[in-house]
Structure 1
Amino acid sequence: MERSRTLTKILRGYITMLTFYFAASSSMLQPLTDTTFNRIEMSLLTITPDTKLIRVRQWLSTPDPSVNFQKALHLSQADTGLWLLESDLYRKWEIEASFIWLHGIPGCGKTVLSSTLLENLLQHSADKPGKAVAYFYFYFNDRQKQDPELMVRSLIFQLLQQCIKISTGLSALFASYDNGKRQPSLNTLLKALKQLIEEFPQT
């Protein structure tokens, strides 16, 4: 029975991956850059899948966590966190999608260490379209980065940027809120985030 469950889990993983790559190869919609965003916003185009994706991204407008990421990287020294990157704990976490809890007193270097891990993840997922990475920093000097709902919005926004095409569920959610004129509840956003995570072979 246990062997059957394990095989079923493995097969589902392969099916998810194949489905994702099939969608990637058959879709003409590529992740949009800031240049594309500005160009489309400057023109009065009809609603196409491309412009709809941009409007959904605007609807979920959130604080930018990459500012904190770059600041933390700037503070790190050479080989910071190498002991953790080379550990069995980290390798297991990467493969099994388990949890790592970095804990310590304020100012001991948790942010710098986690940014080192994040940089490693981003480098290893850059050429793998089925592997998505999203992150957020809670920061006491920025009120927008103290709100859990903005974290959820940010994670959705980041995953959308890595989608081959706009999620059907999120597109329907956007439409149900008057095409972005109203805002959804936190519970609705959490459901959307879960659905979006499940669309990637690995997040």
Structure 2
Amino acid sequence: MTLQKATNVHWHEGEVTRADRNKLLGQKGATIWFTGLSGSGKSTVAVALEKALHAQGRLAYRLDGDNIRLGINKNLGFSAEDRAENIRRIGEVAKLFVDTGVIVLSSFVSPYRADRDVVRKLHADGGMDFIEVYVDVPLEEAEKRDPKGLYKKARAGEIKNFTGISDPYEAPQSPELVLPSHKMSVEEEVEVLLKLLKTRGIIA
């Protein structure tokens, strides 16, 4: 965990509670954490789920790997240390969104269990819902898709520390949901996710 450097700082509660905000929005804030290899379909299903939730009048916001690295995490690379800090920061941002009552859709490779467990604990400590979704496809399928041409570059040695090629991916051991995206349509994935959100009381 990142050490707290600033001293004499304390969390200040307001007079509007998380329950108040949830009631206003008619939903419960939660983080849906999509993890899987590059090319597994994490962003695709997150985009589709966000659209489906919006169509139902739900407030959701998608946090995407490239988008975050273009802004708040633009000073981080892909070493194990930088990956850990990348995920920690995203976890903290997701927590703030959840506190406002928003359904957060986070799609990141997040290859290390320990880093994902840090985010899970952040939510648990705050009494917030964290739903880990493993978008599971074989490496050969992800490499065949290769939408950004990253696997080809990694195989050619042009990209270092690339998950699945020169860096490991540690699959979740007990995710809330597994989506074998090479066996399901995006529509089927969204249907399963919406059912899970209803079961968990995130949406009515």
TM-score by length of structure 2 reads: 0.29
Give the structure with the higher percent helix: 1
Q: Which has the larger radius of gyration?
A: 1
